[in-house]
Structure 1
Amino acid sequence: MPSITRRRTANIGRPTSAETDILAATQRLLINGANFTELGVQHICTEAGVARSTFYSHFRDKIDLIMRLATELLTSTFDVTSAWTPSDGVEALEDVFLRVVRVYREHAAARRALAEVAGYDATVRDFWKAELDQFTDRTITVLRAEQDAGRTPAALDPVSATRLIIMGGERAIVDHVTSEDPASDATFARELALTWWYGVYRRPADHP
């Protein structure tokens, strides 16, 4: 299996101004319809107003760049979702998913580019899977805790259920932000929350 760390950037922590400019420039180009595979480093540098050497001082290559953009998307999403616990209830979960959908709308171009590159680069595929694993691991932990507390049926298979709601849910969100009007975001978020609440956490229909 290809290493998912081989190309990862060595720069950890708060981005520098140049990093931020490069990331923002790439995002703008993608939003304006650029194909990431055909997008040259020099074009990105020109848009960002930085030298080519500056790009390579912060990113190993374009693969490193797209993974950094994807990390921004997932970090924002994980921060939102990990703050929710079942004790917060289904209405709070609706709000969580609405915020997640808005994050995906903001990063839709980068998510599209990630899918494009993952189609031919195993490193990016493995990177994306590893990044999604943090959502999977946390959800499995929460579901098992709910089972131990007697709030979710013991017959539920946390691993299978989590795969359905993480992998299926992420794809559904991508499809929604790609094809649907933002005016429908709240309705979509509500249905997603209800699917989790009643379908996975298995709360009874009259549970608040």
Structure 2
Amino acid sequence: MASITRRRAVSRPASAEAEILAATRRILTEGASFTDLGVQQISTAAGVARSTFYAHFRDKTDLLLRLATEMLSTSFDVASSWEPTEGVDKAAEDFLRILGIYREHAGVLRAIGEVATYDQTVRDFWSQGLARFTERTIEALRVEQAAGRTPADIDLVSAARVIVVGGERAIFDHITSAPPADDATFARELARTWWYGVYRRPA
């Protein structure tokens, strides 16, 4: 009996945490403003006590960053798996997968954009997340330069920032304003911008 009790004690907190994350994502997906969203509302939607919320998260910002971490980590795994040797069509496929991830977390994406306007912690977190994509792009461009497939005069840092930061803004705008039916076309054009622009591949 003692061992069963211990197993339950371990599983219940994990379940409560998952419920809080899922409930918040659901509320945000339905269009709620994160700024106006209260801890009590989140706790009620998750079916947990307010004290349980604070047992897992320091505050609402901590909760938002946890949600955003999941989104960024999943999209980074997809983005970093692409190699230039796989070509522009594979890049378009991967961008479409990334758009799908962002669609799934659209409410979280909007919340990040909302809170980042007034919260330095969230701004810094998002900037650091994009820095991972920038570093990965610089690495890929450096390899392409060494292989002679990308011109040697490209400034790696500037080029990477243009396509990562610019791409992030474009994706944010697309996800929050365009229908899912447009995702494939957008992914294709984003891939071609990378391929024919920064990577300087001939048409």
Instruction: Report Cα offsets for 1:81-127 as digits up to 9, x if no partner.
Output: 11111111111101000001111111111111111111111111111
Match of 1:99 among 94, 97, 100: 97
Which residue does 1:18 correspond to in 2?
16
Residue 163 of structure 1: how far off its partner (Å): 0.6
SS in 1 for 2:34: coil
Match of 2:70 among 69, 72, 75: 72
Match of 1:42 among 31, 40, 43: 40
Which residue does 1:87 correspond to in 2?
85
Residues 42-191 of structure 1: matches in 2 within 5 Å? 42-191=40-189
Which residue does 1:7 correspond to in 2?
none
Q: Distance in 2 between the 1:186 and 1:37 partners? A: 32
Q: Distance in 2 between the 1:67 and 1:121 partners? A: 12
Instruction: Report Cα offsets for 1:132-171 as digits up to 9, x if no partner.
Output: 1110111101101110111100011111111110011011
Q: What amino acid sits opposite 1:194 in the alignment?
A: R
Which residue does 1:10 correspond to in 2?
none
Q: What amino acid sits opposite 2:55 in the alignment?
A: S
Q: Distance in 2 between the 1:111 and 1:180 partners? A: 14
Q: Following TM superposition, where does structure 1 have runs of at least 4 consecutive aligned residues deviating by more than 3 angstroms?
A: none
Task: Give 5+ residue unaligned stretches, structure 2.
Answer: 1-12
Question: Which entry has the higher C-alpha Rg, 1 or 2?
Answer: 2
Identity of aligned residues (%): 66
SS in 1 for 2:154: coil
Residue 20 of structure 1: how far off its partner (Å): 1.3
Residue 16 of structure 1: how far off its partner (Å): 2.1
Moved more, 174-183 or 148-157: 174-183
Considering fraction of residues, name the structure with more helix. Answer: 2
SS in 2 for 1:151: coil
Instruction: Report Cα offsets for 1:6-55 as digits up to 9, x if no partner.
Output: xxxxxxxxx92221111110011111221111111011000001111211
SS in 1 for 2:202: coil
Give aligned pairs, total: 191
Alpha-carbon RMSD across the aligned residues, in angstroms, is 1.1
Q: Distance in 2 between the 1:174 and 1:118 partners? A: 13
